[in-house]
Structure 1
Amino acid sequence: MAREDRYGLPISTTSDEAASAYREGIDLMLAGWTGATDAQERAIAADPDFALPHIARARLHAFYQQGDLARQKAAAAREFVARRGTERERSHVETLALAIEGRLPEALASTLKHVDAWPRDAVVLSLPLGAFGLFAFSGMADHDRARHELCERVAAHYGEDWWFLTMSGWAMTENGDVARGRRVTERGFALRRENAHAAHAVLHAMFEDGSIDEADRLVDAWIPSYDRAGILHGHILWHQALGALEHGDAARALAIYADVLQPTATQAPPLNVVTDAASLLWRLSAYGHAVPKTLWTEADATAQRLFPKSGLPFADVHMALFAAATQNREALAARLAVIEQRLADGKLPAGPVVPAICRALAAFADEDYRACAGELAPVLGEVVRIGGSHAQRELVEDTFIVALIRSGDLPRARALLDTRLHRRPSLRDARWLAGMG
């Protein structure tokens, strides 16, 4: 009897134990839940030549920036699937391997071709989705729309699937259809509460529609069920810290940082470690709250170890936050030189917005607010190209607003705040606007 994954696609193993463990591991991975690694290791132990758990395990390694291990597992998967695998499995393995190897344009092209042929291959479909997916990190200015349109194209193949509802709802939210996105995401969350990606996507919808207190209650009620080792544990509490800042409660935001976000406390993947820490500390400081210098220096030391070289624009921008806040002009200049050279060589798909943000952050840290605003004004519409979510990218716009206020350009600050308040309710924006009279 042929074995299948949960989506009805044949899988090349003769072991019921391996098939069951593989299915369990994929569901846990798609839910951002703990146990995925153990499940795939059980699948490998039950059938060492079964390619799919090897490539799934490689992807889990890649989440945590364990590059050598990820590439080893991907190589093994390629070898096994060549000997025993269907056409779909060979394409599945190759597509994931390209992403693991950092060959992002090739991986995206392979993904779209694969999804056209096998739309119910959820693992491959997951690659371009989310704030850290292939679309988000492609440098495209319309990656939010691209994710939404891809989900719409395959929606008929999924129906009321908890994973697909989660990701398609979030794509709607990020693409501006917040009310519908929230409804769809909440349907997915109701179908599987042990789904960190759903909790996270609902929090994004609540951020966009201004449901700050409701988001706070959701985190308080749900987070006790989620292990601290969960891939999104710290980031979900980062969202709660943003809510605290909406209320001007810096003490609570710093307490959340100390508990789960600072590098000595977190178990998050490296990209989240760096971006969550840098963005929360920067927001605290930009909003006028005191941030102990030791928090910056400790987090910066970790960040320099995790991302010593320029590469991913989203990471580079957050590394610039560290360099600016710690006044490490040498580190920022070195990173900026590499970024500008990549731009000159045509190897920076996100374009000029990346170095412009880095220069602006340096100017802000030097209290040259007019220069900061001057750098950001021409590129605000291009910030989306760095990837991440709207909630994460709003840090750049916040920096611009604060720079306008501190440089005395109140008319432009008022105009931007008015626009933002029409887009989504914000206690902080309302306070800023009231403070300008």
Structure 2
Amino acid sequence: MPVGTRSTEAMRHAEQALWRMLSFFGDPIPDLDAAAAADPGWLLPPVMKAGFLLSLTEAAFRPQAEAALAGAEAASRGAPARERTLLAAVTQGWQGDWQAACDTWDRVLLDHPHDILALLWAHFFDFHRGDAWQLRRRVARVLPQWDASAPLYPYVLGMHAFGLEENHLHAEAEAAGRRALDIDPQVPWAVHAVAHVMEMQGRFDEGAAWLRRHRPHWSVGNGFAGHLWWHLGLFRLERLDTDGALRLYDEHLGGDAVQIAFQRLDATALLWRLHLLGIDGGERWPALAQGWDRSDDVAGWSAFNDLHLMLALAGAADVPAARRWLAQVERRVETTVSTERQLAARTGLALLQGLLAYAHGDDEATWRQLHPLRPVVQRLGGSHAQRDVIDQTLLAAAARGGLQSAGRGLVNERQLAKPATPLTRHWAGRLGVRLDGRPS
């Protein structure tokens, strides 16, 4: 592909940063700074820096990103069209129009199907936008142009596997993920995709063994490790090993392990699931809630992050703070730029209202607010496994509020989607229904 530098040193640093972004091993920003120092006139390193920060979905990184974009803009004259288009896409992303950014990355991919940087960013924001169709099809549009002779091919296969899984093509997803790891075992996105398949199919013991088997390749020095620990926590919860899940939280997800929102999402999501099962998180909750950024600039930037911040406040039993957070998000929703983001923001706002009702102990209001949102909750982004926190909250509200018939429907769905796991049996027992759908 055309690049706007003749400096081999700058190119070496940029390619190292690209590998870090794909593999999650190490921080790419020092490599990008070194690339920029080696060739200050090259457009791509500051674009990559701003794009990497964008992918973290934290508005707090905006000042750093804007400084990088300003530097990129200054270097854009005479740069290759591909690099200028990447700059345009990342700028659209930071303006809040994630759909437009994905469309612009796609234009790059149609001309340059080997541009794995555009593919990676578009894949991330298909995920952040909850667009499962594009999560699969975007990779499919370029995959035939790749083959095993390309060093980064296993990472493309890993993305392909995840897109297949989110479209419920489980056998194909597992095969693609396993093939990627046969070529290169250091592809945590492929480990992750197969773990998702096993979670969706209720293969909790096999899933735990899968993560343990690949643990040497993801657990040390990898930014994705926390999320894979979270997946191991889900497998433990599916077999009702709450002690093991809480121990995992303390060892790998809480405390100093939490530095950015991406990590707080996993910590909050696991602790909330434990909370729904009656496990007291104790002082873990205030510590976790305090770490979330609640500034006005952050509210409404990512509906998915907003949701998890509300879970942290509800878990900490800080209802006044939860009300204030809801009000902050309400004020910011109207400023959302694109129609798609507006829909996501409004869906997220309605979810926050339902979670606040749960924190108040109003189970009927929780059900009335959350249950109608289930068909559109994918607008928040995230995966099926992550969004399952809404169904589990509904099950807990139905069990606590005596809403047997309502909860029975959710139990019926779960046992048809996967074998009746100990977790499903737990909710059936709490609701007083048999797993054949009848009252016990």
TM-score range, shorter chain: 0.7 to 0.9
Q: Percent identity?
A: 25
Q: 1:327 to 1:222 in 2, by over 3 A?
A: same
Cα distance in structure 2, aligned partners of 1:434 and 1:312:
36
For 1:114, the equivalent position in structure 2 comes to 108
Q: What amino acid is the match of 1:60?
A: F
What CA deviation, in whole Å up to 9, does each residue of 1:137-172 have, x standing for no partner? 44x6xx112221222222222244211111111011
Which region of structure 1 is more displaced relative to structure 2, 96-105 or 66-75? 96-105
Which region of structure 1 is more displaced relative to structure 2, 14-23 or 202-211? 14-23
For 1:369, the equivalent position in structure 2 comes to 363
Q: 1:35 to 1:353 in 2, by over 3 A?
A: closer
2:122 counterpart SS class: coil
Choose which of 315, 321, 324 in structure 2 pairs with 1:325.
315
Give, in angstroms, the shift of residue 305 of structure 1: 5.3
Q: 1:149 to 1:331 in 2, by over 3 A?
A: same
Choose which of 230, 236, 243 in structure 1 pairs with 2:228.
236
For 2:196, the equivalent position in structure 1 comes to 204
Cα distance in structure 2, aligned partners of 1:111 and 1:389:
22
Q: How does 1:21-36 map to 2 (within 5 A)?
A: 21-34=13-26, 36=28
Cα distance in structure 1, aligned partners of 2:241 and 2:90:
42
Mind listing any 5+ residue stretches in structure 1 that lack a counterpart?
Answer: 1-8
Choose which of 418, 429, 436 in structure 1 pairs with 2:424.
429
For 1:71, the equivalent position in structure 2 comes to 66
Cα distance in structure 2, aligned partners of 1:15 and 1:405:
64
Give, in angstroms, the shift of residue 275 of structure 1: 1.2
Give, in angstroms, the shift of residue 93 of structure 1: 2.5
| Contact 2:239–2:423 (CA under 8 A) maintained in structure 1 | yes
For 1:273, the equivalent position in structure 2 comes to 263
Give, in angstroms, the shift of residue 94 of structure 1: 2.3
Q: How does 1:138-149 map to 2 (within 5 A)?
A: 138=129, 143-149=131-137
Which region of structure 1 is more displaced relative to structure 2, 68-77 or 275-284? 68-77
Match status 1:189 vs 2:181: yes
Q: What amino acid is the match of 1:119?
A: P
For 1:153, the equivalent position in structure 2 comes to 141
Q: 1:351 to 1:388 in 2, by over 3 A?
A: same
Q: How does 1:374-413 map to 2 (within 5 A)?
A: 374-413=368-407
Cα distance in structure 1, aligned partners of 2:285 and 2:47:
37
Give TM-score, length-normalised by structure 2: 0.87
Mind listing any 5+ residue stretches in structure 2 that lack a counterpart?
Answer: 433-439
Q: 1:262 to 1:63 in 2, by over 3 A?
A: farther
Give, in angstroms, the shift of residue 21 of structure 1: 2.9
Q: How does 1:159-178 map to 2 (within 5 A)?
A: 159-160=147-148, 161-178=153-170
Match status 1:314 vs 2:300: no
| Contact 1:320–1:361 (CA under 8 A) maintained in structure 2 | yes
Aligned residue pair count: 419
Cα distance in structure 1, aligned partners of 2:204 and 2:86:
40
Give TM-score, length-normalised by structure 1: 0.88
| Contact 1:228–1:234 (CA under 8 A) maintained in structure 2 | no
Match status 1:298 vs 2:291: no
Q: How does 1:236-255 map to 2 (within 5 A)?
A: 236-255=228-247
For 2:436, the equivalent position in structure 1 comes to none
CA RMSD of aligned residues (A): 2.4
